[in-house]
Structure formats: C-alpha cells, structure tokens
Amino acid sequence: MRDVLEGLDSDQRSMMTELCILVDKEDNPIGGASKKDCHYGEGALHRAFSVLLFDRNDRLLVQKRASTKITFPSIWANTCCSHPLMISNDGTDVEESVRSAAIRKMEQELGISTEISEKWDFREIGKFKYSSRWDSEWIEREIDHVLVVRGDPIIEPNPNEVEMVEWLDLDEIRSMVKQTGRWSEEIVAPWFKAIMSAYLPEGKSIDEAVGNASNEILQFGRMSLKPGNTNQILDQISGHRERAEEHIKEGLSKISQPRLHAAMNHLFTGGGKRLRAMLPILVGEAIGKGHEGHYVLGACIEIIHNFTLVHDDIMDQDPVRRGLKAVHVEFDDSTAINAGDAMLALSFEMLADSKHIDDDQLRLLVKNIGEMVRRVAEGQQEDFEFEGREVVSEDDYLAMIEGKTSAMFQMCAKTGAIISGAADEMVQTFSEWGLMLGLCFQIMDDVIDLRSDTKTLGKTSGSDISSGKRTLIAIHALSSGMDLPNFTDAFGNEEASEVMINKAITDLESSGSLDYAWKRALDYHEAAHQALDRIESSPSLEVLRVITDFQITRVR
C-alpha cells in the first residue's frame, strides 16, 4: 500500500503521528489514534477545539490556512482549531485538556506567547458533532469544543500553518460565512460556518453567546465543502431547473382561458429555486439512471406545490408570496381557487401524456402523487384547525408537517427513484431521505419566518405570530411556563404592529424557543444524511448532501 503522506510537507507529515483522543457520540474518551488515522479514509470520531479570539473592539481574528496543510489547505477558518492530545501537557480533565491544547496551538500557529495566553479567561460556549470530507482521502470527524476568549496580542503567524490573518467585525464575519461580497470566491471551513450558525447567528452578541453556554452536543451531521457553497451548486444544476421549467411552461400552455392562465402562471413569475422540480432528476442521477421523464415528474410536482400555495394563501389570507401579491390578491378568491384546481388536474394530465414515463410506472406514480396530495390536504387542514385548539403538542405539530410539507419532498425523492428502476430498498431509502429533508425544511422555514425581513422572505415577516400559527417555536414558548408578555400580546393578534412582532420575537429568542426549533431541525438534518450514507458515494450524491446542508445554513 502506498504511503499516503509521501511527497507532502515534512512538518505537516510529522504532526500526523500525534495521538488524538477518540470519543463516542457523547464525547466520552474511548482510546487514541494517530492524527493520520483520525483523518484518512473514513476517519474516526475524535475530540477537537475551535478558538474564537476577539479583541477589545469585538473583532474576531480569522486565519487562512496554509497551502501546506494536509487537510483543508488554503481555506478560511476561525482563529485557531486543532485537537487536544493524549499527552500530559494537555491534562486529563476535559476542560483543562481543551484549554491547554488551545494555548499550545495558538503559540505554534500564531506566535501568541503562552505567558500571555495563560492569563486569558477561555470560556467554552458549546460543542457540536460534525464531519466534512476534503477529498476522496481526507476527512474531518469531530466533536468540536468552541472556546471564546478576549485579548489583543501581537500575531506572528507560522507560514507553515497560516497563510494570512485578519481582524473582522461580526458583520464582516457573517458576510464571510455566507460567502457574499469579497468572500464569494473563497472557501470557508464548514466547522466555522457551523459555529456561526449555532452560537453567533444574526442578532446575537458575543456576551450573549458566552452567557448562553451549553454542554449539549449539537448534531450537524455531514457538512459539505465541495463544490463550493449552495449558490454555486444551484448554479451548477441550473440546467435541470431550466429543463423542468420548459415542461412547466409547456403544461401551462394547455390553458387557453386568458385570465385562468395568468392566475396559474402568476407565482411562477416570482422566481423560486424550483427545488422540488429538480429533486426527481437529482435522485435519478444519484442512482445513475436520470432521464427526461424525471423533468416531467418534477414539473408536475412543482405545479402541484404551487397549487397548494395558492390555496394556502387564501386560507391564511396572506397577501404576499415570493415578493408578489398572492394570487387571490392579484386576481380574486374565486379565480385563485379555480387556478389551483386546474393546476392539480393539469399535473396528472401531463404525467399521462408523457412519452418518457413507462405505462407500468405510471400507475405507481399516480398512486404515490395522489397519496401526496391527500397527505398535504390533511396536513393543511390540521394546521388550519390548530389555530382554534387550546393545546397543540409537539407530536401533533410533527405529524401535521409530515403531511403538509414533508410528503412532497418524500414523494419527489421516492418517485424519482421509482422511474429510475431502483430496487425497493433503494426506493425506501430515498423516501426516508426526502421525508427527513422535508421535516428539516419546514422547521427551518418557521425559524426563517422570525429571523428574516419581509424583503428577504418574499412574504410577510413574523406573520406566523400574528396569525397564531402553532409552529414548533410557538408550541415550545406556550408550554415553557415562562412569562412572555410581548409574545402573548402579539400571538394570534391580526392587528399586531411590526414593533409588537419584533418584541415578540425577542421574547422567543430569550425563552430559547427559536433555538429549540433550530436544534430539532438539526436532528432531521442528521437523519437525512444518515439515509444518504446507505447510498454509494458519487458526485451526484454529493449534490444531494449540499442540498441537505442548505436547509440549515440558508438563515443564520
């Protein structure tokens, strides 16, 4: 067997013999392994740390890792990250070993004297489990302890470890992890994105992050690094979107009544990522048997999705969708209802007309898509009736979104596998992935409703509060037993002002209800990745992983 370290930087090679601490999923030590064995091939779960060093002006020191690094070279990351080792200098107590390792590595990487850093007050704010693959050989699989510390040291980077450093304020850091502006072409470490998403999201201060420190291990599952960020992946698969949209336009052209056609086409003019339309072909490619029928199928499900949005907006009396007036506002209630009905009928007509779907598969498609529409309707009715019930449990909510939202993602994946001719076991695996993806998507949508403005959302921000929707966030808040006067005043109050809603959101942040929902979304994100773990790895499968990650990174 070849020496996988042959030809690599000699200093970096020597560090691959360091003995890392292997841990179980609860961060309990279970032995030791070399740094090489922890990171090569499938790797091994081990303990790690990440330091966030802030100066007196609340600027964070970030580094670009050296090109000589064996794992994740030339990418931007937080101040310092590495591993406690099985050596006496790192101590045996977990907190002591993490702190000692941080002090040791900050001197080795950044030239910060231990005489200075020993006096600093390192505060652990949390820990999370994740994995991320650099290439076919090297991987990170860690439980990462996050340390915050303040200081104004002189930085003298070790060029073998660090290519460059910068001090950045939080706004610039958030631009970095979102990869916007000058960071759009850079690669940012997945663990740094996770840290910002979990502990320093938009609106949270450094002091709040320290004050809300938790010993809970957050579950991020697999985090994709390549190819690039989600916008880049969506650009790369834009051809799939265009092909699906061609079938959507062709289908809508069957409608000759001008006003009805305009109403049916209205929401499609508002853009959207067309994720549901692309899922069938992406699943087909992951199986290795994508074809034109997947585009027809995706177009049909996307049209059905838009039919549900039209009727949903009428039921909720939401005036905005995708930055446009809702169909019932732009036209009228009767036309909107009729447009939705026609969209549902059109979708099945398109399936039956397609020359790219075998007759023996058509019956399965009709059965599964029919089941999907029924489950969406049942979920929507439950959601509507929740507003009149005194008590809605978390289990009630999860059952509702499993129908209203997840059923559509599930059937996109399941039917995409069916028309690829996949074996029953693989069909079931993709069905499970779609279900978990949908649950993650809907819970994150509830979070996004409260953490984004109306322009970003394309619909009214905070409308879930004023309409009294029993989201997971609201359910947690209502059952918390905490005094949340602003939330109580605004919840279900259709006259609630923007100021009232913003104060209510502050209550939900302070009660931990928003964070609770976000953590549940992480659980389903991890479950979705576990389903993909059962599929043979390929570049097409990595696209599905990036889409899975997008659900938890689209708002921070």
Rounded to the nearest angstrom, the gap between the alpha carbon of residue 117 and the centroid of all alpha carbons in its chain is 35
Give pLDDT, residue 12. Answer: 87
pLDDT category at 155 given cuts 50, 70, 90 is very high
pLDDT digits (tens, 9 = 90+) for 370-407: 999 999 999 999 988 888 888 999 999 999 999 999 99
Question: Residues for the chain: how many in total?
Answer: 556
pLDDT digits (tens, 9 = 90+) for 198-209: 899 887 899 999
pLDDT category at 460 given cuts 50, 70, 90 is low
| Span 310-324, average pLDDT | 87
- Copy the structure tokens of residue 13: 């090679």
Report helix, strand or coil for 16: coil
Pairing of strands 29-34, 60-65: unpaired
Higher-confidence residue of 536 and 257: namely: 257
Contact (CB, 8 A) for 399 and 262: no
Domain boundaries, the chain: 10-226, 232-553
Residue whose pair of structure tokens reads 């790895």 in the numeric block: 537
Fold of 10-226: Nucleoside Triphosphate Pyrophosphohydrolase (3.90.79)
Instruction: Report the distance separating Cα 360 and Cα 337, nearest Å.
Output: 33
pLDDT digits (tens, 9 = 90+) for 531-553: 998 998 888 898 898 888 887 76
pLDDT category at 276 given cuts 50, 70, 90 is very high
Give pLDDT, residue 254. Answer: 95
Q: Identify any residues that bridge with 19 across adjacent strands, giving them in sequence order.
A: 34
| Span 403-430, average pLDDT | 96
Give the dihedral of Cα atoms 191, 197, 198, 204; nearest 10 deg.
130
Higher-confidence residue of 96 and 229: namely: 96
Pairing of strands 123-133, 217-222: parallel
Q: Is the pLDDT of residue 461 over 80?
A: no
pLDDT category at 323 given cuts 50, 70, 90 is confident
Q: Which CATH architecture has domain 232-553?
A: Orthogonal Bundle (1.10)
Give pLDDT, residue 317. Answer: 84
For residue 307, the surrounding DSSP H or E stretch is helix 292-316
- Copy the structure tokens of residue 70: 């064996």
Q: Is the pLDDT of residue 164 over 80?
A: yes
pTM for the predicted model, two decimal places: 0.76
